C-alpha cells in the first residue's frame, strides 16, 4: 500500500528522512482492527518523529501520522483515538501508553491497524477531513481548556501562537464555550484571522493585555513563557503542551509563580472519553476544525514543508 513514512532520522533536516512509496499492509492481530483511511491530518509530532524524538532508529521504517478518519471492516465511518495502550487495551496491561508512530505504524497510508478499543463512531455531521483534525491537536486543546485549566463561560484565556493547530483549536473551542479569548502572533495576517475565528483581540507577542486572564494556553515555550506567566491573574493557570521555540526560557518567573499562587500544568493529548465529548461538542454546536489545505497523500511532502515553514493557519489534511 502507498504511504508516507520515516526512512531515516535527521535531527537538523528532518524532511530528508521523509519518503513516499509502498509499505506492507497491516496484518491480522488479535484485538486489533484495520481501518481504510479516508483522511489524515499532519501534526508537529510528525516532524519531531523525523528528528528522532520519540522514534528510535530501531523502529524504522515507520509510517507517520497520528490522526485519521475512515471506514472500518464493517463499513462504519470512524475516527481513531491516537493513544495506544491506554488502560492496556490491545497491547497488554504492562506496556506503557504511546502515540501512533512511536511503536506502531501510523495513519499516512491507505490502511492502518489499531486496537479495536481505539475506534470511535464518526458523527455524520463531520466530513472525513474535519474529523481527521480532531484526535491530536483539537483533543489537546480541548483537554487543556476544559480539563486542565478548568475554565468556565465568561472566563478569559490567552492563547499564544495563533496559527498552530492547537492554538487555533483553542481559539475556536474557547469562543464556542463562551470564553473571552485573547491571542498572540508575530504575523499580522494570523492576528486578523484569529479575530475572525472568535478571539476578542489579537496582539503581537509580549503585548500588554487589557487585563490579566484566568488561564493561558501555551504551546510556544521559551519565546512566550515570561509573557504567559505575567499575563495571569493571581491563582490563574498556565497549561503547556508544547515548546516549539525551545523548552528553556531565559526567565522562569519563579517568584511570580509562587507569590501569586499560579498553577503550571502540563498536558499531553487526551483520553478516549474526552475525544468522544469533543466529537459530540462539534456535532452539536456546529464548531468545525480550521483546515489550511487538503492534499492527496502523494503530495504529503508539500504539506510537511508548509508545516515546517510555519506558513499555515489551521490543519493540513491528507486524503487517500
State residue 86's pLDDT score.
73
The pLDDT assigned to 88 comes to: 79
Report the distance separating Cα 142 and Cα 150, nearest Å: 10
Among candidate residues 184, 193, 195, 294, the one with its CA nearest the CA of residue 230 = 184
At 100, is the secondary structure helix, strand, or coil?
coil
Question: Percent of the chain, pLDDT > 70?
Answer: 100
Residue 307 sits at φ, ψ, to 5 deg, of -65, -40
Q: What is the pLDDT of residues 92-121, one digit of tens each?
A: 888 888 999 999 999 999 999 999 999 999
Report pLDDT for 87.
77
Counting Cα atoms < 13 Å in the Cβ hemisphere of 49 gives: 30
Pairing of strands 180-184, 263-266: unpaired
Q: Taking Cα atoms as reference points, which of 286, 275, 292 lies closest to residue 175? A: 286
* Whole-number pLDDT of residue 242: 87
75 vs 38: CA distance, rounded Å: 12
CA 112 to CA 99: how far, in whole Å? 14
Name the grid cell of 54.
520519540
Strands (E), 94-200: 98-99, 111-115, 119-121, 156-159, 180-184
Which domains are delineated in the chain? 2-133+289-319 (3.90.180.10), 137-266 (3.40.50.720)
Query: What are the helix (H) ranges across 86-216?
Result: 128-131, 139-142, 165-176, 188-196
pLDDT at 163: 85
Phi, psi of 298 (to 5 degrees): -75, -5
* Geometric angle at alpha carbon 107, from 104 and 112, rounded to 5°: 70
> Nearest Cα to 59, choosing from 19, 13, 22, 6?
6
Phi then psi for 165, rounded to 5 degrees?
A: -60, -50
Low-confidence ranges of the chain (pLDDT < 50): none
In the chain, count of helices (H) and strands (E)? 9, 18
258-292 pLDDT tens trace: 999 999 999 999 999 999 999 999 999 999 999 99
Burial 69-94 (b: 16+ CB within 10 A, else e): bbebeeeebbbbbbbbbbeebbbeee
Amino acid at each position: 500500500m502507498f504511504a508516507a513514512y520515516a526512512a531515516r532520522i535527521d535531527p537538523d533536516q528532518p524532511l530528508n528522512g521523509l519518503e513516499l512509496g509502498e509499505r506492507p499492509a497491516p496484518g491480522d492481530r488479535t484485538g486489533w482492527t484495520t481501518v481504510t483511511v479516508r483522511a489524515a491530518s499532519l501534526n508537529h509530532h510528525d516532524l519531531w518523529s523525523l528528528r528522532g524524538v520519540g522514534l528510535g532508529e530501531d523502529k524504522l521504517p515507520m509510517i507517520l501520522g497520528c490522526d485519521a478518519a475512515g471506514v472500518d471492516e464493517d463499513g462504519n465511518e470512524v475516527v481513531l483515538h491516537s493513544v495506544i495502550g491506554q488502560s492496556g487495551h490491545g497491547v497488554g496491561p504492562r506496556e506503557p501508553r504511546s502515540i501512533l508512530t512511536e511503536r506502531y505504524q501510523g495513519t499516512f497510508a491507505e490502511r492502518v491497524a489499531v486496537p479495536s478499543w481505539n475506534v470511535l463512531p464518526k458523527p455524520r455531521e463531520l466530513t472525513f477531513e474535519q474529523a481527521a483534525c480532531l484526535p491530536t491537536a483539537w483533543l489537546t486543546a480541548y483537554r487543556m481548556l476544559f480539563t486542565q485549566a478548568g475554565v468556565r463561560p465568561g472566563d478569559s484565556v490567552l492563547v499564544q501562537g495563533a496559527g498552530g493547530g492547537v492554538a487555533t483549536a483553542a481559539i475556536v473551542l474557547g469562543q464556542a464555550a463562551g470564553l473571552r479569548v485573547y491571542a498572540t502572533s508575530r504575523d499580522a495576517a494570523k492576528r486578523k484571522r484569529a479575530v475572525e475565528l472568535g478571539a476578542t483581540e489579537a496582539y503581537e507577542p509580549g503585548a500588554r493585555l487589557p487585563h490579566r486572564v484566568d488561564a493561558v494556553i501555551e504551546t510556544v515555550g521559551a519565546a512566550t513563557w515570561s509573557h504567559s506567566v505575567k499575563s495571569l491573574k493571581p491563582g490563574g493557570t498556565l497549561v503547556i503542551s508544547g515548546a516549539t521555540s525551545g523548552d528553556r526560557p531565559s526567565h522562569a518567573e519563579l517568584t511570580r509563580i509562587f507569590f501569586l499562587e499560579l498553577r503550571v500544568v502540563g498536558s499531553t493529548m487526551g483520553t478516549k472519553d474526552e475525544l468522544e465529548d469533543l466529537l459530540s461538542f462539534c456535532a452539536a454546536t456546529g464548531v468545525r476544525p480550521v483546515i489550511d489545505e487538503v492534499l492527496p497523500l502523494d503530495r504529503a511532502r508539500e504539506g510537511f514543508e508548509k508545516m515546517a515553514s510555519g506558513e499555515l493557519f489551521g490543519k493540513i489534511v491528507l486524503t487517500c
